Amino acid sequence: MGRKIDDLFSGLGRIMNGFIVCFLAVPLIVTAVMAFDARSYLGPLPPPALSTRWFSKFFSDDYFLRGLGVSLELALITVCFSVCIGVITAVALARSNSRARELMTTLFLSPLIVPPVVTGFAILIFLSKLGVVNGFARLLCGHLIITIPYTIRATLNGVLGIDKSLTEAALTLGARERHAFWDITFPLARTGIICGGIFAFVVSLDDVAISIMLTDAKTYTLPVALVSSMRANFDLTLAAVSVLLMGLTLALILVLEKTVGLNQVIGQGTFR
Amino acid sequence: MKRAPSLFFYLPAGLVFSVFFWLPLAGLLLESFRPFTPGRVGAVTDAPLTLANYEELLTPSFLEFFTQTLRISLFASLVGLVFSFTLAYWITRRMSPRGRAIAIGFFVSLMFLSVLVRTYALELTFGAAGPFRAMLLSVGIYPNSRGYIEILVAAGLLHYIVPLATLTLLTTIQNVDPRLFDAAQTLGAPGWRAHLSITLPLSRDGLLAAFLFSFAFSISAFVIPMILGKGRVLFVSNLIYNRFSEIADFPSGAAISVVLFAVSITIVYVTTRYVNRREAV
């Protein structure tokens, strides 16, 4: 009797898992196929003919290209600042005693639990009171706030994982503290720093909720441009952009796997 | 061995966070108590303080937005938890090392994939004009009905929740000693009972953490309900944005923000306290 129930549950679990994997993968596959659809309307699958017309349409559309330019520039500048600030803060956190560290970590990770729309709206009200109307400056402020928690957390994990005796040995052997940092701490924390940088890049490139509040007429990010054209009309240029972004994600994952290893990203348990 | 003072190192982040985060949040709280002047962007600087913006939130039409957000979020988080737990268990205990590596690669890739892209993909595939339209209509489901749109919004949330919760739960399940389960079976317990009395209780903290994270993510979701909800299902976040973009009513938007903020913080606080208390025992 027990056996039969077990088999039933195990079968049900298997079916459910298959269903979830399909649910996760099928929309992405459908989008990838539709991006190459030669028809000018949304028709049933599979498409009768393939073409790259939606890709060329994207690359000849000034509205999207402008957004792409702003997004990439913003993401790169954000990552630079965010990584620098993250590393400095992580070093400070690692040096503090555990109580101060706990308090400061909570403070600096707090943007992760505040709903992004609230953060965006608060920054919008504040900066418009100050008279800051430059779209790029406003976007940079918002993006720094949502990316720094990731760089701090990733770097801190890297720094805390370093055996303290290594730094102490260097100091005992006569190295100055600055040298000990650049020769010991920094190389060992590198994986954490890279991880944090990649997270910051992805978060900055994908954000809608904050950016949509802080854009101006000329400075808008690609996701904001995509959202507004998604609400206006449903054409397959967006599917083409999605395919490009999927490609970018895969490239980032490969970089991550080569430099850090995916297991490092998710952590490991005891009984594998 | 002279150590540079830590305070100095806190300066850059402290400065950025004070000016662009903590001060704005304080300003938001203040703004929420100001009266709204139609046609003016932001409240008058020295206007008298008022509770009117909060009183407005107590009307049934506003409460409806909050209950709707909480209802759909709760549904998505619970379903996501069941899905993720079965997936994580399957990956940890039933798959070969190679299969496990592929599965982990798949979920990490999904986690890094743009939410906007996934939301668009769901709309394209399951939306009113998608390839499954005829199939849906033939089983009597109308892609423009309210129920279907609500399920679609929940599906959008699930597409984000499941990969992340699965990755979180992998570690949890890896920390449950499989020998305990084997022992229970050897002693005569059928598999389902062994799971109920061993695997689930031992994974409780991980499950709770995954639920907390899913629920907090869901109630503050913005793009997912904005695109999949098509204006018919609105989350609190969308309401805040509409206050700003449609009527430029900053004080009211601020009041809604403060409430959403308070709800999120409470959820995080309560659950962290609960998990910590259990760890301390």
User: What are B92-151's pLDDT values in tens digits?
Assistant: 888 888 888 888 889 989 989 999 999 999 998 888 777 777 777 888 778 788 889 999
Nearest to B87 by CA among B98, B99, B75: B99
Residue A85 lies in a domain: yes
Query: In which domain, by residue range, is B209 found?
Result: 54-280
Put simply, the answer to whether B220 touches A148 (Cβ < 8 Å) is no
Would you call A23 an interface residue with chain B, using a CB distance cutoff of 8 Å?
Answer: yes
Residue A12 lies in a domain: no
Residue B127 lies in a domain: yes
pLDDT digits (tens, 9 = 90+) for A199-209: 899 999 999 99
Chain A residue closest to B217 (CA)? A115
Instruction: Specify the pLDDT at position A267.
Output: 54
Would you call B250 an interface residue with chain A, using a CB distance cutoff of 8 Å?
Answer: yes
Residues on chain B touching A269 (C-beta within 8 angstroms): 170-175
Residue B9 lies in a domain: no
Would you call B24 an interface residue with chain A, using a CB distance cutoff of 8 Å?
Answer: yes
- The position carrying tokens 């020295």 is B46
In the 8-state DSSP scheme, what is residue B47? Answer: P
pLDDT digits (tens, 9 = 90+) for A107-163: 898 888 899 999 999 999 899 888 888 889 999 999 999 999 999 988 888 787 777
| A250, burial (CB in 10 Å: exposed 0-12, middle 13-18, buried 19+) | middle
**Among A121, A228, A250, which would you mutate to test the B interface (most chain B Cβ atoms within 10 Å of its Cβ)?**
A121
**Where does the pLDDT of residue B9 fall: very low under 50, low under 70, confident under 90, or very high at 90 and above?**
confident
Instruction: Specify the pLDDT at position B279.
Output: 56
Q: Which residues pair with A50 in a beta bridge?
A: A37
**Among B34, B117, B266, which would you mutate to test the A interface (most chain A Cβ atoms within 10 Å of its Cβ)?**
B117
CA–CA separation, B183 vs B189, rounded Å? 9
B77 pLDDT exceeds 90?
yes
At position A266, the amino acid (one-letter code) is I
Tokens of B154: 């929940």
Which sign, positive or negative, has the C-alpha torsion B133, B222, B161, A148?
A: positive
Residue B2 lies in a domain: no
Residue A48 lies in a domain: no
Residue A267 lies in a domain: no
Residue A156 lies in a domain: yes
Nearest to B131 by CA among A25, A43, A233, A22: A43
CA–CA separation, A89 vs B97, rounded Å? 38
CB B224 within 8 A of CB B152: no
User: Phi-psi category of A181—alpha, beta or left, where left has phi over 0 and alpha has psi -120 to 50?
Assistant: alpha
Structurally, how many domains does chain A consist of?
1
* pTM metric for this prediction: 0.88
Residues in CB range of B278: below 8 A, 6 or more apart: B204, B205
Tokens of A223: 């996701």
The pLDDT of B3-9, averaged and rounded, is: 68
Residue A207 lies in a domain: yes
Tokens of A245: 């972004």
In the 8-state DSSP scheme, what is residue B21? Answer: I
Query: In which domain, by residue range, is A141 found?
Result: 61-262
User: Phi-psi category of A228—alpha, beta or left, where left has phi over 0 and alpha has psi -120 to 50?
Assistant: alpha
Q: Which residues of chain A have pLDDT under 50?
A: 269-270, 272
Structurally, how many domains does chain B consist of?
1
Which sign, positive or negative, has the C-alpha torsion A43, A46, A50, A53?
A: positive
Put simply, the answer to whether B6 touches A96 (Cβ < 8 Å) is yes
CB A241 within 8 A of CB A226: yes
CB A256 within 8 A of CB A54: no
CA–CA separation, A123 vs B27, rounded Å? 9
Question: Which residues 171-200 of B have a C-beta within 8 angstroms of A?
Answer: 171-178, 190-193
The domain that holds A118 is classified in CATH as 1.10.3720.10
Residue B15 lies in a domain: no
Residue B36 lies in a domain: no
Q: Out of A117-131, A253-267, B73-87, B173-187, which region has the weakest mean confidence (pLDDT)?
A: A253-267
The domain that holds B130 is classified in CATH as 1.10.3720.10
Mean pLDDT of chain B: 85
Percent helix, strand, coil in chain B, to 5, is 75, 0, 25
Question: Which residues 99-128 of A have a C-beta within 8 angstroms of B?
Answer: 100, 104, 107-108, 110-111, 113-119, 121-128
Contacts 24+ apart (CB under 8 A), A227-230: A227/B116, A227/B223, A227/B226, A227/B227, A229/A63, A229/A64, A230/B120, A230/B123, A230/B227
